[in-house]
Chain A
Amino acid sequence: MFKRLYLTILIMLLFIGLISFTTGCQTKKENVEVIKIGGVGPVSGEASTFGISTRNGEKLAVEEWNAKGGVLGKKIELIFEDDKGEAAEAATVWTELIDQEKVVAIVGSVMSKCSLAGAPIAQAKGVPVVSSGSTNPRVTECGDYIFRVCFIDSFQGKVGANFAFNDLGVRKVGAIFDIGNDYTKGLAEFFRDQFINLGGEVVGFESHPTGATDFKAQLTNLIKSGAELIYIPDYYSDAALIMKQARELGFKGYFLGSDGWDSPDLVKIGGDAVEGGFFTNHFSKDEQRPEVQEFVKKYKEKFGQDPDALASLAYDAMNITLTAIQNAGSTDGAKIKEALKNMEFNGVTGFITFDENRNPIKSVVILEIKNGQQTYRATVNP
C-alpha cells in the first residue's frame, strides 16, 4: 500500500522535474541572442599575473561594449578559460571553447607555446583568433585565421640587441633562456643574430630546462666568459631568480629582458637584484597619449591597480575583435577574418595595422626598473 504511494509520488516528482527541465531549456533558448567570445590566458601557473591581467583587460573591453549596447544589437558574453600556461591544457580548453561553447572568436592566449597548441584547432574550425600576448613568429603562421596585437619576437629581439649595442654601448654579451619554451628560445636567438650583425660578440649562450630553480652553473659560465650584459628573455619569476643568482655570483654588468618581465612580482622575487634592469615592452602607463591615460584611469577604477602590458594588449585585442565583428556585420568566421585583415585601429598599445602575415606593425617601449618601479626610457618605432 505504502509502496504504491511512494511510487506515485516518485513518478510525480520525476514528471515535475522533467517539466521544469524543459522549460529551463526554453528560457535558455531566449538567451541565445548573445555573442559568445572565448578568452584564454594562464590564470594559474608560472605566469599567472599575465593571465589575470589578460582576463581583466578583456572584461573591461566587453563591459564597455555592452554598456554601449553590445555588437550587432546583441550583448557580448565573455567565456574565459585558464590554460595554466601548459600546452596540453591549452589544447583542451580551446577545443572546449570551440566545440562546446561555440564561440564566435577567441582572444588569447598569452604564452606562445599555449597559442601554438590552440591556434591550429581554431584554424581548422574556421574560428578567428586575435592573440593578445603571444610573441613567437610561428603563432600566426598557423593559418590565415590567426592574428595578434603584440609585436613579434624577431622585432623585439632586434630592438633589444640595438639598445644593448648602441645605447648601453656593450660589446660582449651572454644570454640565458628556457630551452623548453618557444618564446624565450626564439627571443634569445633573434637577439644573438642581431647582436652579431651589429659587430658585437656573444660570449655565452646558455639554456636551462623548464621549471629549474637553480641557474648558478650556467651563470657561472656566463660570468667567467666576461659578458658585460646578460640577456634574459624569460617570464618574470624565472628572470627574477636568474638575476638574483647572478648578483649572488658577483655579476656587476647590465641585465636586459623582454616583455615577460612585466609583472610586479619581478621586483618582489628579485628584490635589489633587478634594480637597473632594462626590458622591452608593449606599453608604458607613463605614456602621455590620451588613449593610454583614459585606459589607465578606467582600469584603475575597476581593478584597483595600474594596468600592465598584458592587460592593455588584451583590451586592444578584444576591442579589435569586436570592431571586426561590427565591420563584418556578421558572426561568420570568414567574414570576421576579412574585416580583421583591413583593420586600422588606434589602440592603447599603439596604432595597429596588420601586415600580410597578420602581425601588427607598431612600436616598442623600453623600460627600466628604478627604485622598484618601471620607468619609461624610450620608444622605438619599427
Chain B
Amino acid sequence: MEKIFNLQQLINGIQLGSIYALIALGYTMVYGIVRLINFAHGDFFMIGAYASYFVIIFGTLRGYHIPVILVFIISIAAGSIAAVLANKIAYKPLRYKPRISALITALGVSMFIEYLFSALPFIGPSYRAFPNEQFIKSKIFEFGNTTISNYIIIDVLVSVGLMIFLTYIVKYTRIGMAMRAVSQDKDAAKLMGIDIEKIITITFIVGGGLAGAAGLLTGVSYPRIFPYMGVLPGLKAFIAAVLGGIGNIPGAMLGSYIMGISETFATSYNSLLGEGIAFAILILVLLFRPQGLLGETVAEKV
C-alpha cells in the first residue's frame, strides 16, 4: 500500500489536476451559459501554448527577456481571440437551431483548427520543444525524499487564483448577473434588456482566455507542444467538468483535482489503469449522480 499512497504521488496528482482545472473551468463556463459543449476548447488551449511559444522564441532570438506577465497576457489573448472567432463564425448562426447541430459544429471546428495548424508551414504537425527554461527557470525544492518544483506551485496558484476570479465575476458583478440570467432563460433575459450576444461573446472571451493560460502552463510544465496536444487533456477536462457538475465553477475545480489525483495513483499502480480511470469515473458519475458532485438538479422546462 505504501507503494501507492505517498506524498510525492499526491503532489504529482495535484499538478495534473491543476492543468485539467484550467481547461475544465472554461468548458464548464461556456456550457453553463451557452449550453454548448464546446469541443474546440482543447484547441484554444493549444493555440494559447503556440502563441506563448512564438513570443518566447521571438524574445530569445532578439536577445531580450519578455516579461512573464506579458507572455501570460498574450497566451490569454490568443485563446480569447480564437474563441470569439469560433463563436462568430461557427456557433452564432446556429444559436436557435437544435442543440445537436451546434455540438456537431463544435466537433468540426475542433478538427478544423487541428488540421489547419498541422498544415501551416510555420507550425506543422511535429513536436516542438517549448522554451520553458527561457521563460521561468525551474527550481526544485526537496523535503526529505519528497520534491516539489516551482512549476507545480505556479500551476496550482494560477488555477486556484483564476477560479476565485471567475467565481467573483459570475457571482458579484453586473456582467456575471447578466451571464446567469442568460443561462437561465435567454428570451426573458432579452426582454429585460440584456444584449445576450454580447454576454455570450464575453463568456467566450473568458473561457478561451482560461484555455490559453492553461496552454502556457502546460507548455511550461510539460515542454513539448504539437497541434493535437489539446485533444486528450480537453477530453479529460470535460470529464472533470461533468464529474464536478457541468456549469458549476467550484465543481469543475473539484472534479479536476479528483481526476488528476486518482489518475496519478492509478497510474502508479498500473499505467494502463491510469489512462482508463477517467472514463470509469465518468460512467460511475453518470450512473449514480448524473448532475455531478456539486451540480444541482434542474427541472426540465416543459
Contacts and interface: CB of A to CB of B under 8 A. Distances in A.
Contacts of A346: none
B149 interface: yes
Classify the interface of chain A: helix, strand, loop or mixed.
Answer: helix
B48 to A, nearest CB: 16
A233 to B, nearest CB: 16
A64 to B, nearest CB: 28
Nearest to A266: B129
Given A220-B12, A248-B147, A237 B127 contact: yes
Interface string A204-228: 0011110111101110110010000
A95 interface: no
A361 interface: no
Interface size class of B (residues with CB under 8 A): 35 or more
Contacts of B272: 179, 207, 209
A287 B17 CA distance: 48
Nearest to A49: B126
Nearest to A250: B147
B201 interface: no
B233 to A, nearest CB: 8
Nearest to B7: A220
Given A211-B232, A214-B222, A244-B223, A271 B133 contact: yes
Interface size class of A (residues with CB under 8 A): 20 to 34
A237 B8 CA distance: 24
A248 B224 contact: no
Nearest to B265: A217
B147 A216 contact: no
A278 B1 CA distance: 34
B300 interface: no
B291 interface: no
Contact of A250 (B15, B140, B274): B140
Contacts of B275: 209, 212
A48 interface: yes
Given A213-B224, A241-B222, A250-B145, A218 B129 contact: no
B149 A45 contact: no
A379 interface: no
Given A214-B222, A216-B264, A44 B16 contact: no
Interface in A60-85: 84
A48 B126 contact: yes
Contacts of A207: 271-272
A277 B214 CA distance: 31
B268 A241 contact: no
A93 to B, nearest CB: 15
Contacts of A18: none
Nearest to B270: A207
B9 interface: yes
Nearest to A219: B12
Contacts of A212: 271, 275
Contact of B129 (A214, A217, A268): A268
A48 B127 contact: yes
B124 interface: yes
Given A45-B125, A250-B147, A217 B274 contact: yes
Interface in A215-255: 216-218, 220-221, 224, 237, 240-241, 244, 247-250
A265 interface: yes
Contacts of A44: 118, 124-126
B224 A206 contact: no
Interface in B141-159: 142, 145, 147, 149, 151
B147 A265 contact: no
A269 interface: yes
A382 to B, nearest CB: 33
Interface string B1-29: 00100101100110110000000000000
B264 A217 contact: yes
B105 interface: no
Contacts of A209: 271-272, 274-275
5 contacts: A208-B267, A217-B12, A217-B274, A224-B145, A248-B147
Interface of A: 44-46, 48-49, 84, 179, 206-209, 211-214, 216-218, 220-221, 224, 237, 240-241, 244, 247-250, 265, 268-269, 271-272
Interface of B: 3, 6, 8-9, 12-13, 15-16, 118, 124-127, 129-130, 132-133, 138, 140, 142, 145, 147, 149, 151, 218, 222-224, 229, 232, 264-265, 267-268, 271-272, 274-275
- Considering the complex of A and B, which 7 residue pairs feature the smallest CB-CB distances, nearest first? A48-B126, A268-B129, A44-B125, A217-B267, A216-B12, A217-B268, A269-B129
